[in-house]
A and B are shown apart, each in its own frame.
Chain A
Amino acid sequence: MRILPSGSSALLVELGNLDEVLGYYAALRADPPAGVVDIVPAGRTVMVVVDLSVTSLAALERALLNTVPREDRRAGGDLVEIPVVYDGEDLGDVAELLGCSVEEVVRRHTAEQWTVAFCGFAPGFGYLTGESDWDIPRRSSPRTKVPAGSVALAGEFSGIYPRESPGGWQLLGHTDVAVFDLNRDPAALLSPGRRVRFVDASAPGQESDRGDASDPGGASDRRSR
């Protein structure tokens, strides 16, 4: 762990990997240092912004050095289920990249225990990390318009587009769940530490369009859950 300078009122904690980030962020959230304004987890770092009228960077640094990462980082958050219609334009490409069938992509995506590692890119966009090693390259040419609700993969992450935006992630499908809704409190459905499970909500007709399911029993089990 390294503590790096980050301006007059923040420090940046650099950690070894995403799991350490999750554990460190969970510990900071459970017992935040005095005067904290924002705690911003990211891929390898956690930035902590403080109010200098309440504390100092020296006091913050001491608190950060004394913070012990939590071990149960993936179990702590509550679970949200996201129904997904797996009709994304890049399903075939992802299946090819993984060397498996489209049905297997859906099975793996719905079987995965996802955790919101951090947010960014747009309000309410959560970077979801799984237990297994996902490594999906971005599309070589990003789309200028990705529809709101698109469920996608890139790198080690899965994500849901909160609103229409440009994007280079591989599209698996879409959900009607609004991940960011200003008329709801909280507006952002996905906050760091929250666990996510995707549920296959594809209509039977659409599913058969994808060809014979390699694991039809599994698919119907998912729908009946």
Chain B
Amino acid sequence: MVNQVLFPALVLGGIALVLGAILAVASVIFKVDTDERIGQIEEALPGANCGGCGFAGCSAYAAAIVAGEAPLTKCAVGGEKAQAAIADIMGMAAEKVEPKRAFVQCGGDCDAAALKFDYNGISDCAAAMRVAGGPKGCEFGCLGYGTCVSVCKFDAISIKNGIAVVDPDKCVGCGTCVNICPRHVIKLRTTDKKSDIKCKSTDKGALVRKYCKSGCLACGICAKNCPQGAITVDGVAKFDHEKCVGCGTCVEKCPAKCIELA
């Protein structure tokens, strides 16, 4: 009786022990050496997997850094802190990158911009673009169907009164919205409180006035008044941020009120 229970139990236990030993040996023999720096870098990265660096995610970027295929500066989300940590792990010097934020180059909200027609289709900018170039009278401005909102991993963009508005506190500058916007109306810019224009329209001033109250008329008043000579007008006002000191003269003088310090 005892034999009938004890013996099989012992043999089974023995087999299990042997199997365990085989697995233990196998785990040593078949050990795959992975570079431990990959794991360390992954921890230093924010783990948002936003894809702003151009890789499939934080771990793919970490592997690329270790393989020497990617620069340390690609992660906009982690900013300087993550970069310093990665540079430390890799034994390299950190390069300085200025933090960037998304900036919507359009002020044509529902009050300012005229519509060509009523659009009742899919609530997506790319889809709206397909219908005669979108319902907005302006061919350059934000369509306001929130494709950027849906791709933002950081909940930093919202549609307010018909145009995209970026929350500068939440935006990390990953650039996902810049790439998805079918109108290319969002850009990344530094957060140095210098003048920038919320309009991309290069149409003639008279035409702009017809479809948008806050569009750049290319009148040149800002350029004439700028004490630093930082503004040139070529269909639309352009700002040289090397020269601009953020005095705010152009913001005051602009008749369309489409310049702001961002």
Do A and B assemble together?
no
Chain B residues proximal to chain A, CB less than 8 Å = none
Chain A residues proximal to chain B, CB less than 8 Å = none
